[in-house]
Each structure stands twice: as structure tokens, then as C-alpha cells.
Amino acid sequence: MHELAEIDADLIRKFDRNGPRYTSYPTADRFVEAYGEAEHAAWLGRRAVGGFARPLSVYVHIPFCAQLCYYCACNKVITRDHGRSAKYLRYLGREMQLLGEHLDGSRRISQLHWGGGSPTFLSGAEMRGLMQMLHENFSFDPEGEYSIEIDPRTSNEAAIATLAEIGFNRMSLGVQDHDPDVQKAIHRVQPPELTRAALQAARRHGFSSINFDLIYGLPLQTEKSFTRTLDEVIDCRPDRIALYSYAHLPTRFKAQRRIDDHGVPGADAKLGVFLLALRRLTDAGYVYIGMDHFALPEDGLVRALNNGRLHRNFQGYTTQSECDLLSLGVSAISKIGPTYCQNVHQLDEYYDCLDHGRLPVARGIQLTADDLVRRAVIMALMCQGELAIESIEIGHLIDFRRYFSEELEQLRRFEEAGLLEMDSQWITVTPRGRFFLRGIAMVFDRYLQDAQAPGGRYSRLI
Ligand code: SF4
């Protein structure tokens, strides 16, 4: 029997709680304003201390979208005025130049990602211009992963041909749900033919790894309606699928106030849709990577999972080894050495900082020795699903059992439920335990231990 077949509603109810997705540790809500531009500039200048600089991963945030999706929780600007992106690109150029003045070490990029918002809001000429700027400031590894988020509603064959021509080799398509009623309820009408056409164009133009984003828990979604979505998706056979949970938080996200609360599935109905998707995708041959991610067995993510070489960054799981992440644009998060920082959220603030020759950093954090050891533990569990106790002791000069005595005690309930195994040398997540990675990782999160209401601000697994 497939190990995920043992995942049932009772087990999920028992171990499901609010928690972070650990694309970073500490999580972004722990960043502080005391860490700002000066600190970021100093760390950019120390990248190559000791003669070694990590390869670079570059993220570019394009915040514009032509139309609002009601479920959206992203930092975006809704506009039909395409003149706004021209100005934004000029400022991205200034930010790149300013970063270049501080950046020490190699300029070699092994990973690039454009996200948003909708990067496909840009015209073909603007995309070429932005890529040109990146090439003027960085050197691209010929074997690198260059990916972009695509809105199939605004990406025709010519646009996809342009993306391939300027060097992209991976793409992620926003799909969410194919049911026409659900699409109307979320204000994102996207006939399946459009998605299929974008996928086929991407394949024709040589894209090597194509991801579909799906969401469960959307208004009017039922097991029956999502069965049709899954039929269509499985028939398209994208290399990767990200299946995200919709968290209906209208008090926090203004766009969601346009969704009729009555149509949002309750916890049990949502769980039913999720279990259906889990079964259908694994039956169709997709491998469950962890958290929200599935991939075909021949995809690099599955090879990395099997070889213990999976990593995690702000886009989720990746095959790229530890990179310094340099991010550009509003609200973008960078990770340089033992630090994280995030840019300002608002366009006006972003432009103002750059007009005054300042890096547009809003807040950040420099990790303490305790943060570093906990990050190493959390990432090993989230990515490799196992932890060699000795390697943490040697790498961080601690007595693991003494340092984490309380955490080891808390892990017992996961062990008793068959979700992980522990001995004197290893902590190993079992195959079905991979489904509860977030809960296991949360045991090691010091900030949650310190919080008054642990996990209260985070979304649930289901
Ligand atoms: S979900 Fe994506 S495309 Fe829709 S409004 Fe939000 S950022 Fe834009």
C-alpha cells in the first residue's frame, strides 16, 4: 500500500495546526526595522570574506496585475496602465546598480526567478530590456535554472517564444481551479484551453520543467468539481504541481472581502478535496515532495529528494544548493550569509529610497548562533527528512541531546504516531511523516516557543 494512503482525516486533524511554511528561518514576521540599509550593504560587501562566495540566486518582483483575483494575498498593484511598468523597470535598474556598488564576490547567477504580481504584465520589449539589464550586471551559468511565473490569460505563443529566447527554461503557470463557477467566484476566468495552450507552447519552445499552481478550499469547490480539474490537470501532465491551501482571511486581505463567505468550504469539505487531490495525484504517478509540492518521478526535484540534495527557498523546494539570494523590487526578500532582509512594500517608498540613492530595505535580521543551529535542523528535516545528530554537533559545537532536550521530548508524539523515528544518531521522518513536516519543524522554532499564542498568525496545513 502506498504510504500516503494511510494519511486519513483523523491523523490530519490530530497533527494539523497553524504554522509557518519555513521558506526561511526565522520567518519573515520576525524581521526587525533595526536591521536596515546599512546592515544589508555591509553584508553584501562581506560575501567573499574567506575567499569563497556562494553562487547567486536572483529574484525579481513584478507587482503589477491587470485584474484582481479575489483570493489573492500577494503584494500586487492592480492596474491597466502599462506605462506604470516602464517606470518600475527604470527603478529596478537603479536598484541593480546600487546593489552592484556594494556586492562583493562572484556575480555568477545559477538561479533566476521572476514572480509577482504577474511578470507577464510586462510587454515583450520590457522583458527583453529587464533581462538585458540583468546580463549587464551578472553573469549567467549556462546550466542555471531560469524560471518565471506565467498567467496563461496574458501569455500567448509569441510571449512564450520571447521568454524562451531571452533565456528562461522553467515556468510556473497559475491554474488554481478549472471549474467555471469557482473561477467566477474568485474573479479569475481562465478556460482550460488557455492553460493547455500555454503549456503546449512552453513545451514547443523547450521549457524543461513546467509547474501548475492549484488551490484547494476555494469558494464553491467540491470534490466533484475538483475531480474534473484534476482530470484535466493530470491529462496535461505538468512536471510539477504545487497544491496550495486557500486561507480565507477577509479581515487581513482586502481582496478576499469580495468572496461570499457562504461559498467557502468548511474544514471537513476542504479536507475532503485535499485528500482527493492527494490520492489522485499519487495514483497518477506524482511523487509527494513535501509541504504543497508534487513532481513526476523523472523531475529533478524527485532526484534531489532521493539523493538528499533538496533545498528550500522563498519559492518552495529547489534543487539548487545553498545560494545567496539577491532580491529586487518591492517587498522582495534577500538572504545573504547569515542574514535576511525585505524591501519596502509600497511603490512610492521604493521610488523615494532609490531617488535618494538608498537601498530600499525596510527590515531584516542577522541570525544568532541559536538561529543558525535551529535553521540547520529545520531545513534538514524539511528537505532531507532526516537529521544526522553528529553533523549538527560538529557544525554548531553543541551537545545536541542537552541543547534540544525539550524538543526531543516533544517529538515523542510524532514518533508514537509513526511519523518519525529516533535513535542515538539520527532523527528520520517516515514517508507518511513527510506530510507533517511543518508540525515536526515547528518543534524546533524558538520564536513559536516564545510567542504568547503559538502559531496564531499562520495558516493551517489544511
Ligand atoms: S493571484 Fe496573482 S494574478 Fe491574481 S491578483 Fe494576485 S498576484 Fe495578481
pLDDT in tens, 404-447: 999 999 999 999 999 999 999 999 999 888 888 999 999 999 99
pLDDT score at 12:
83
Rounded to whole angstroms, the Cα distance separating 228 from 215 reads: 14
Phi, psi of 77 (to 5 degrees): -125, 120
pLDDT in tens, 131-141: 999 999 999 99
Q: Whose alpha carbon is nearest atom 7 of ligand 1?
A: 117
Find the 74 Cα to ligand 1 centroid distance in Å. 7
* 3-state secondary structure string across the chain: CCHHHHCCHHHHHHHCCCCCCCCCCCCHHHCECCCCHHHHHHHHCCCCCCCCCCCEEEEEEECEECCCCCCCCCCCEECCCCHHHHHHHHHHHHHHHHHHHHCCCCCEEEEEEEEECCHHHCCHHHHHHHHHHHHHHCEEEEEEEEEEEECHHHCCHHHHHHHHHCCCCEEEEEEECCCHHHHHHCCCCCCHHHHHHHHHHHHHCCCCEEEEEEEECCCCCCHHHHHHHHHHHHHHCCCEEEEEECCCCCCCCHHHHHCCHHHCCCHHHHHHHHHHHHHHHHHCCCEEEECCEEECCCCHHHHHHHHCCCEEECCEEECCCCCEEEEECCCCEEEECCEEEEECCCHHHHHHHHHCCCCCEEEEEECCHHHHHHHHHHHHHHHHCEEEHHHHHHHHCCCHHHHCHHHHHHCHHHHHCCCEEECCCEEEECCHHHHHHHHHHHCCCHHHHHCCCCCCCCCCCC
Q: How confident is the model at residue 454 (pLDDT cuts 50, 70, 90)?
A: very low
Mean pLDDT of 240-269: 94
> Greater confidence, 195 or 19?
195
Ligand 1 lined by 417 (C-beta under 6 Å): no
Mean pLDDT value across the chain: 92
Find the 116 Cα to ligand 1 centroid distance in Å. 8
Amino acid at 192: P
Ligand 1 lined by 66 (C-beta under 6 Å): no
Nearest residue to 447 via CA among 26, 111, 14, 60? 26
Ligand 1 lined by 151 (C-beta under 6 Å): yes
pTM value > 0.85? yes
Q: Point out the ligand 1 atom lying closest to the alpha carbon of residue 255.
A: 5
Find the 330 Cα to ligand 1 centroid distance in Å. 15
Pocket of ligand 1, candidates 61, 62, 65, 330: which has the most ligand atoms within 8 Å of its Cβ, to mutate? 65
Ligand 1 lined by 387 (C-beta under 6 Å): no
- Asked if 253 contacts 224 with a C-beta cutoff of 8 angstroms, the reply is no
Q: Is the pLDDT of residue 344 over 90?
A: yes
pLDDT score at 44:
95
Q: Point out the ligand 1 atom lying closest to the alpha carbon of residue 116.
A: 7
Q: Is the pLDDT of residue 453 over 50?
A: no
Ligand 1 lined by 116 (C-beta under 6 Å): yes
pLDDT in tens, 70-106: 999 998 999 999 889 999 999 999 999 999 999 988 8
Find the 451 Cα to ligand 1 centroid distance in Å. 31
pLDDT in tens, 117-135: 999 999 999 999 999 999 9
Find the 161 Cα to ligand 1 centroid distance in Å. 23
Q: Point out the ligand 1 atom lying closest to the alpha carbon of residue 65.
A: 8
